[in-house]
Amino acid sequence: MFERIIRIVVKELIEIRRDPWAVFRLTFPPIFQMLIFGYAVTFEVSHVTTVVLDRDHSQESRELLSHFSANTRFTIVRVAQNEHELRRAIDNGEATVGITIHPRFAADLLKGQPAPLQVVVDGTNSNTALIALGYVGQIVATYSSQTNVSLTHRIPGGAGPRFVTVDLSQRPWFNPNLDSRWFFIPGTVGTLSFILIVSLTASAIVREREIGTLEQIMVSPIRPYEFILGKTIPFFLIGFIETSLVALFGVLWFKVPFVGSPLVLLLGTSLFLLSSLGLGILISTLVKTQQQAFGSNFFVSNPMFTLSGFSFPIASMPKPMQWLTYLDPLRYYLVVIRDTFLKGVGLEVLWPQMLAMAALGVGLLSISILRFRKALD
């Protein structure tokens, strides 16, 4: 049995070695995509184009606007003279945020009353709009707190209104600077590995059918599970090397810390590759041409990427979509790789994800063997 499996493994490795573009395809695209994801994909928003309308023209209103102009989150592109000009700037796409300071802003502020401030946001891109509103709230809260302290010191003898301020002291765990790259890079390692392994294995059996060697295998004494294992092992080794290479590049290039146990990550990666290989082999047993394999891979990988929780929280999805995520091995591996990279947790926390990936891997490989046996019959 082992000799037959080794023969299949050697055959697959020889075919890969004979491909002059194999090394290039297996090294350059993942690293290039890691660079794209690392620099382009982020939750942070900077230089939001902003138009302002100051109808108070007071020292206090100018000071508030200076907080926006001095912040890299916003870029003031126009100072409007009236409401129509502000609205036109947003309608034309010149600005994403419009800030209007109403008359009596300073007067109400000095009296200790709520001071009117209106923020208009282009909601076409809802994600940017929500993040920009959060930044506006932070800047206004900081300005309000500073103004309250300043007014308290300016009123002699403690006369006048008293202001109560609450200082929020943040203490983020595991990612002190709230760097979104620390969240995305480990997820990118899992995503790129998943797409690569599924795409490679999806063409494994169908390639044998196209070049005419599957018929020879059918009349040979090799058993279906031996053939599947022989096809799986080379791609498992390739996938492990690819995952290690991309992860190492993310750590060294983007300075993402790794604080967990390498053995825990090794186990999680092995189970993840097992389930990914099972999915790819299953696709390969269902299609008849490599073009069909490519299309099926695209059809399967994109939904699994969306349902994995890479960038969209699973808890925010409708219940039927949340149930589908339990069939996605990438969902579990993203938890494993992020928690080992940033939190340093062990098997006592990650065992449910490990068990789920093991069950998916065994189940998918078993179905693939049954499908291949049916094809032989």
In a domain, residue 1? The reply is no
Q: Residue 173 has what pLDDT? A: 82
DSSP-based three-state secondary structure for 344 = coil
- Predicted TM-score of the model (pTM): 0.80
For 280-329, what is each residue's pLDDT tens digit? Answer: 888 888 888 878 888 888 888 888 988 998 878 898 889 999 999 999 99
Same domain, 89 and 134: yes
What is the CATH number for 120?
A: 3.40.1710.10
- Which among 364, 365, 358, 357 has a CA at the least distance from the CA of 225? 365
Same domain, 180 and 288: yes
Cα 110 versus chain centre, distance: 46
- How many other β-carbons are positioned within 10 Å of the β-carbon of residue 158? 7
Cβ(265)–Cβ(246) below 8 Å: no
Same domain, 184 and 146: no
Place of tokens 């891997």: 361
Same domain, 208 and 286: yes
Q: Residue 358 has what pLDDT? A: 95
In a domain, residue 6? The reply is no
Same domain, 206 and 336: yes
In a domain, residue 350? The reply is yes
Report the C-alpha gap between 155 and 148 in whole angstroms.
11
Q: Residue 162 has what pLDDT? A: 54
Domain containing 246 equals 176-376
Choosing from 158, 186, 201, the residue where a domain stops is 158
- Which among 47, 41, 56, 55 has a CA at the least distance from the CA of 95? 47
φ/ψ of 76, rounded to 5, equals: -80, 115
Which residues in the chain show pLDDT less than 50?
158-160
In a domain, residue 15? The reply is no
Q: Residue 377 has what pLDDT? A: 53
Q: Residue 142 has what pLDDT? A: 84
| Segment (H or E) for 79 | strand 74-79
Q: Residue 37 has what pLDDT? A: 82
In a domain, residue 4? The reply is no
Report the C-alpha gap between 116 and 12 in whole angstroms.
71
DSSP H helix total and E strand total for the chain: 15, 4
Q: Residue 359 has what pLDDT? A: 95
Same domain, 266 and 363: yes
Report the C-alpha gap between 366 and 233 in whole angstroms.
15
In a domain, residue 71? The reply is yes
Q: Residue 321 has what pLDDT? A: 92
Q: Residue 155 has what pLDDT? A: 56
In a domain, residue 165? The reply is no
In a domain, residue 169? The reply is no
Same domain, 302 and 192: yes
- How many folded domains does the chain comprise? 2
- How many other β-carbons are positioned within 10 Å of the β-carbon of residue 125? 13
Choosing from 111, 132, 158, the residue where a domain stops is 158
Cβ(249)–Cβ(34) below 8 Å: yes
Same domain, 125 and 252: no
List all residues 6 or more positions away from 233 whose beta carbon is below 8 Å from its beta carbon. Answer: 5, 9
Same domain, 150 and 207: no
Report the C-alpha gap between 119 and 97 in whole angstroms.
7
Q: Which two tokens stand for residue 313?
A: 């929280």
Same domain, 298 and 370: yes
Same domain, 203 and 235: yes
Q: Residue 219 has what pLDDT? A: 64
- Which among 173, 153, 177 has a CA at the least distance from the CA of 163? 153
Same domain, 190 and 135: no
Q: Residue 296 has what pLDDT? A: 84
